[in-house]
Amino acid sequence: MEKGARAVAGFLGTAECPASSGPGCGTLRNGIMHTDTMAPVTCKICDSTALDILAHTARCKDCGVLLYYPYPEASQPNFVTEDEKLNWYSASAQFNHDNFTHMLRYAMEGQPMSASLSILDFGGGGGQFAPICKSMFPRAAVCLVDINDDSALNGWAPFSRRIPFKDFASDSTMFDVIFLNDVFEHLHDPVGTLHLLAGKLNDGGRMFIDTPRQFWIYPLSRLLARKLHLSVLRGTVSLAHLQIWSDRAFRVATERARLRVVKSSTWAEFTMPWEFYVNNMGITNPVLRFAARAAYKASGLILRNKIACVLGK
């Protein structure tokens, strides 16, 4: 939920892992994991025990997913007040408008404007997706569910029907299309969530996922520039972004949920100005900031930082 969550570094002083959490618990202090003993844990995507622990992350050597570590017990709710929402969307809304339009064109290719569709915006945050969707498919009925039941901005809320988060699993509403727009990275249990959502698709229904992907800066900085790599981890993996996907990990997750790929792409996409990302990484060096800005401006040519995928049962 880039659109419905603060994609901050997640360094909140000291985070204690509950005693009930089992293997892999520790204490996170200033971005570094401290443990007396580190029992073996498995990758929550592929079950491999080949995890490379660095700072507050675990990278699976088998499927390649990059995980926030130790695993939290649940996904985190975000915005509480209307002012918090407005502050976020004042910077991101124009990006979201372009991104959502792109996603809809990609996912709904071939659908006539007059189609009477049942659409779910899962993890819909502020609710901006619904008015954009309705502008393209005016007969669509859009539902919104989010871990924060009060996440929608007042001006966008009327365009969708809210399903309370606690009622969603048992709600009987079925959907023709389910959208997870910048949501998959925030899920505590991504494979389990896909199983749940697949059961809510009508026959012939589709699911669309747009989620951050590891691109060349991750392996390159890991090999050649440790300090920069730690900055990248600080700015992209957090309690708000619990996993950054590799192509293989994404494929494993969808296969485990018994979903088939209808079509898939990788593309460059951002939801905030360039300063947001480099500030989250703690980058102050003017040369690095200039390079980051240049890469951001040229992202369409040199980056593929998002996976976009249409899935069916």
Residue 302's pLDDT is 95
Q: Looking at the chain, which residues constitute the CATH 3.40.50.150 domain(s)?
A: 82-211+258-269+304-312
Angle at 36 between CA 32 and CA 38, to 5 degrees: 80
DSSP 179-194: EEET-GGG-SSHHHHH
Specify the CATH architecture of the domain 82-211+258-269+304-312: 3-Layer(aba) Sandwich (3.40)
Q: Phi/psi zone of residue 169: left (φ > 0), alpha (ψ -120 to 50 degrees), beta?
A: alpha
Residue 298's pLDDT is 96
Q: How far apart are CA 246 and CA 95, in angstroms?
A: 24
Q: How far apart are CA 119 and CA 223, in angstroms?
A: 43
Hey, what are 114's tokens?
């007059």
- pTM for the predicted model, two decimal places: 0.86
Residue 8's pLDDT is 26
Residue 15's pLDDT is 30
How would you classify the pairing of strands 27-29 and 14-16?
Answer: antiparallel
Residue 20's pLDDT is 30
Residue 38's pLDDT is 45
Residue 13's pLDDT is 26
Residue 40's pLDDT is 56
Under-50 pLDDT residues of the chain? 1-39
Residue 145's pLDDT is 97
